[in-house]
Amino acid sequence: MKRRRVVVTGLGVISPVGNDLSAFWDNLIRGKSGVRSIDKFDASQLSTRIAAQVLDFTPENYINRKDARRMDRSVQFACGAARMALEDANLTITDEIAERAGVWIGSGIGGLETMEDQHQNLLNKGPGSVSPFLIPMMISNMAAGQVSIMTGAQGPNGCTVTACATGTNSIGEAFRFIQRDDADIMITGGTEASVTPLGMAGFCAMKAMSTRNDDPAGASRPFDRERDGFVMGEGSGILVLEELEHALNRNARIYGELLGYGATADAYHIVQPEPSGDGAARALALALSDAGKRPEDIDYINAHGTSTEINDAMETMAIKRVWGDYASEVAVSSTKGVTGHMLGAAGAVEFMAAILACYHNLIPPTANYMIPDPACDLDYVPNQARPKLVRAAVSDSLGFGGHNAALVVSKYLG
C-alpha cells in the first residue's frame, strides 16, 4: 500500500527567545541565550534561581479575554502558537475540512501554576474557595481541547504525555494519524509553563538543574565539559502537518517532509537514562528506518542535549551507535543552550529547528560550548551557526520514565 505523505506547512512558537518564528530562529542562529534570573516570583530560597522564561506574552493577542482567563499559562501558550502556525500555513479550518483536521498537543506537566494557586486557596480559605476552573485549567489534555475549540478542528484530538519527550512523541503520533488516513491536517506540538515555585522546587530537589546563578546566559551549556545541569524553560511549539496532496491542492508553502518516527522505552529507571544509550539509539534507528534513510543521508541532528552530565554523554554514545563511522561527519547541536529545557515543548521547538535548518541550509549552533569533554566527542557546531546543505535532519527527545522518541524531516523535493 502506498504510504500517505506528510509535509509541514505551518510553524508557530512562543519561546524564551521570542514569541514569533523569526525572532526565535534569529536567536537560535545567533546562539543568544534566553536564560535570566527568575523574576516572576521570589526564587531566593531555591538552589537554582535562573530560568528561560517567556517574556512579554499577551494572551489577548491570540484569544479573547474571557477564554484566556479560563486557561492555564501553558494552554495560553499553545493557543498563541497554534494561531501563529495556522496563519503561517495560511490555513483556516472551514466546515468542509473540520472533521479531517485534528489536534494533538501534549504538555509534560500540565497546568502546574493553576494547581499551585488553587491549592493555596484550599489551604488559606477552604474547599469552598477552590475555583470551578481548577480542573479544566489544570488537566494536561486541555491545550488540545482549547485549540480545537479555538480553531474548529473536529478530527482526532488528544495529547501524548511523555515528560521531556512529549513534543516529539506528540508530533510522531499526529504524523501517524495522517498516514493512517484518519486526518488530512494535524495541529500538533507541545507546551509547558512550569517555571513556578513548586516546579522549580521539585527539579531543584532532584539536583537536575544548573546552579550557575551568577551567569544565567552561560548556564545551559550542552556537551561542554563544565555543564552542571539543565535550565528550565517554558513556551510552546506548534506545527501544522498536512497530507501532501492536500497541501499541494491549496498551493501551501512546504517547509519539509516528515518522513519518519521512532519511539522506544529504556525500561530501566524513572529518571536516569540507560547508560549505554541503547533506548535512545533504538528510537533513532527506528526513525531512520521508518524514513527509509541511512545515517549518511542525515546532515544535521538536533540533539536532546540537556546540559546534564549523564544525558549528553549517553546521547553521544547513542548517536555513535547508530551513525557508526559517519558519526564524526554529522553536525549535531543542542539548541537548549539558547532556549533552556522547555520540557514538554522542547521536542516541538527542536523539531522546528531541524525543519528550519533543512529549509534554510543553516545549522543553529550549540551555544556556550567552550571546553570539550572526552565523553562528548562529536561535531557540536560550537557557538557559530553553520551554512551547510541539509538534505535531511533528525530531532530526538528523551524523557523521565525512559521515553525516547525521534523524528526525521527532509527537504521536500517533489
Partner 1 sequence: MAILDDLKDIIVDILDVQAQEITEESKLVEDLKADSLDIVEMLMQIEDKFGLQIPESTAEDFKTVKDVVDYLEKRLQEK
Q: What is the contact surface with partner 1 in residues (CB under 8 A)?
A: 64-66, 69-70, 128-129, 131-133, 136
Cβ closer to partner 1: 133 or 326?
A: 133
Q: Which of 12, 34, 27 is nearest to 385 (CA)?
A: 27
Give the nearer residue to partner 1 in terms of CB position, either 137 or 284: 137
Catalytic residue among 79, 159, 204, 341, which?
341
**Catalytic annotation present for 204:** no
Give min distance, CB of 367 to partner 1, in A.
Answer: 41
Q: Angle at the Cα of 109 (from 190 to 336), degrees rounded to 5? A: 55
Rounded to whole angstroms, how far apart are CA atoms 14 and 345? 10
Of 79, 159, 164, 358, the catalytic one is 164
Cell 550549540, residue located: 366
Q: How far is CA 337 from the centre of its chain?
A: 14
Q: Min. distance of Cβ 120 from partner 1 in angstroms?
A: 15
Task: Dig out the grid coordinates for 83 from the structure.
Answer: 494561531
CA dihedral over 162, 267, 221, 219, signed as positive or negative:
positive
- Give the integer Cα–Cα distance in Å for 174 and 176: 5
User: For partner 1, which is the closer residue by CB, 134 or 231?
Assistant: 134
How is residue 293 written as a grid cell? Answer: 534513510
72 or 274, CB closer to partner 1?
Answer: 72
**Rounded to an integer, what distance in angstroms lies between the CA atom of residue 96 and that of residue 113?**
37
In this structure, the number of other CB atoms found within 10 A of the CB of residue 290 comes to: 19
269 noted as active-site residue: no
Q: How far is the CB of 12 from partner 1 (least distance, A)?
A: 24
Q: How far is the CB of 63 from partner 1 (least distance, A)?
A: 11
Q: Which residues are catalytic?
A: 164, 304, 341
